[in-house]
Amino acid sequence: AQTRTYARDQGAAESDRPSARQRNQQDRERKSKPVGRHGPPQDGFAAANPSRRVRDRTGKPARDRHGQDRHKVSQLIAPPVAVRFLPRPPVFENVVAQIKENAVAYSLFALARSFLEKPERYEVRLTAESESPLYQLGENGAVVFDREFLEQSAFRLAHEDFYKIEITLAEPIKGNFSNVARCRSSGTLLGPTNHHNYQPQLRGLYEQRFSRRMSFADYQRQIEIVTDPALVEQWKEQTRKIVTYTTVREETSSTFNSAADAEQHFRQNYLPGLLRSAQEVTITGVHSRRLPDRALHRAIEDAWTRETRSPSEIMQELAGRFREAGLHIFRHRRGMLFVTSIRVRAFVHDQAGVSPSVNAILETLTATPGITRKELAEKLLVDLANEEAERAKLALASNMHWLISEGYVIEFNDGSLDLPKGKAKKENVVETAVSAASDDSAATAKDEKELVGSTESRPAESRQDEVVAPAMNTEGETGD
């Protein structure tokens, strides 16, 4: 496919294509060349000259579907910032309360992924280097690395907090206009290029909707001039709307008839007190997905992707907070971490002093770990008369309640039962389990999916007492 594309772009005939043997020989020759100052050769015809920009058949730099230069996108420099995801306190407290209400064990791996599933469930802590601090607009405003960019965008990002915006209709605009400029990406009409309001509208639309995708120069190239009289009339109707800005934080309100005047007032009275620098900033997950800084937004997105695959850091954070909340962390099933409200421990009592029914439960779980309550009852309650069977069921339920509440038997949230492992040497169980999850992420994910996944395939009888995974209540989220 690469050879066909290369031949097509260079105008070569189909008969000029090298054979498979020739292509293999070319690959061997290319790989045998010494690594130059630009690094090892890359796949594709762009590798011949890494310093040259990829071009299409017209000789112009190749662009993506948004019209953005792909070379410039690849050159987006990652900011020097450490990204860490934390459970959002209200959601975490809700999960802790639900775990304490029952006696089942939950997978820490699955809980960590559940927190990362929705931005309403987590917070993002950004830590910058001392020589390149972060800049934030107010206590809960936008976070960027470029102070100048934040100063330029401050009014657009925060004007709703300081001004009441009202829209009224004025008289239709006078004059003859033969064409108007239109944004191809959004379809927004910007007016004639010689109109006094054209440049402010162009810059405002770019900053509001396209600054994360492309440079301003690239955005200008996708502006088109249309001569349709209907579109000209549509633009005239739009210009009738007059937007006024009225201050809401002053004893004596001031009203401005244009965004430019309101922005000037904002810069003089509010902006100096809003800009602040910090080495560490914590923002909500929702806010982290709306940052105006493209490089910082990409860094958070990449960190979220890595953490979702192997949630080692948030697992450590959850383990520490669960312990502080009085819950217990233990290892089971290939060293994976689980959390429960009960301290699990191996049964070490003398079997001679324990009832036969308790011994039968322990022996059955030792022989067949992972069975459910229904399967356990089917193995123990056999060949019994009606009255005797009823008494045996009550005794089994009572014994199971005692064994689980004392930590001698583990009941997982998928309904399976197992015995705790013997006492192990004291060590950092969090780091050990996290390392195991990172080394074998795919296998771990499969096991956890089986652990906390849907139980619809199991008979209804075996699910009647089942406790589902804690629901993460995000009520009260304001969508910052």
Model pLDDT for residues 363-377, shown as the tens digit of each residue: 999 899 999 999 999
- Average pLDDT of span 128-138: 90
H or E element, residue 258? none
- Per domain, the residue ranges of the chain are 2-74, 147-278
Calculate the CA 184 to chain-centre distance.
30
Residues 260/273/132/157 CA torsion (nearest 10 deg)? -40
More confident position, 474 or 271: 271
- Average pLDDT of span 246-272: 90
Sequence letter at residue 52: R
> Is residue 422's pLDDT more than 80?
no
- Average pLDDT of span 415-439: 62
- Which band of pLDDT confidence, cut at 50, 70 and 90, is reported for residue 21? low
- Average pLDDT of span 463-468: 35
Helices H, strands E: what count in the chain? Answer: 19, 17
> Is residue 168's pLDDT more than 90?
no
More confident position, 437 or 265: 265
> Is residue 464's pLDDT more than 90?
no
- Average pLDDT of span 395-415: 92
SS3 163: strand
How many angstroms separate the CA atoms of 333 and 198, rounded?
Answer: 65
pLDDT at 446: 44
Query: Who contacts 177 (Cβ-Cβ below 8 Å, separation ≥6)?
Result: 191, 192, 195, 232, 235, 236
pLDDT at 471: 62
> Is residue 37's pLDDT more than 70?
no
Q: By the 8 A CB rule, do 311 and 112 touch?
A: yes
pLDDT at 41: 38
- Average pLDDT of span 1-28: 46
Model pLDDT for residues 295-338, shown as the tens digit of each residue: 899 999 999 999 999 999 999 999 999 999 999 999 988 889 99
pLDDT at 305: 95
Model pLDDT for residues 335-355, shown as the tens digit of each residue: 899 999 999 998 876 655 678
pLDDT at 352: 56
How many angstroms separate the CA atoms of 340 and 366, rounded?
Answer: 21
- Which band of pLDDT confidence, cut at 50, 70 and 90, is reported for residue 131? confident
Percent of the chain with pLDDT over 90: 45
pLDDT at 43: 37
> Is residue 113's pLDDT more than 50?
yes
> Is residue 36's pLDDT more than 80?
no
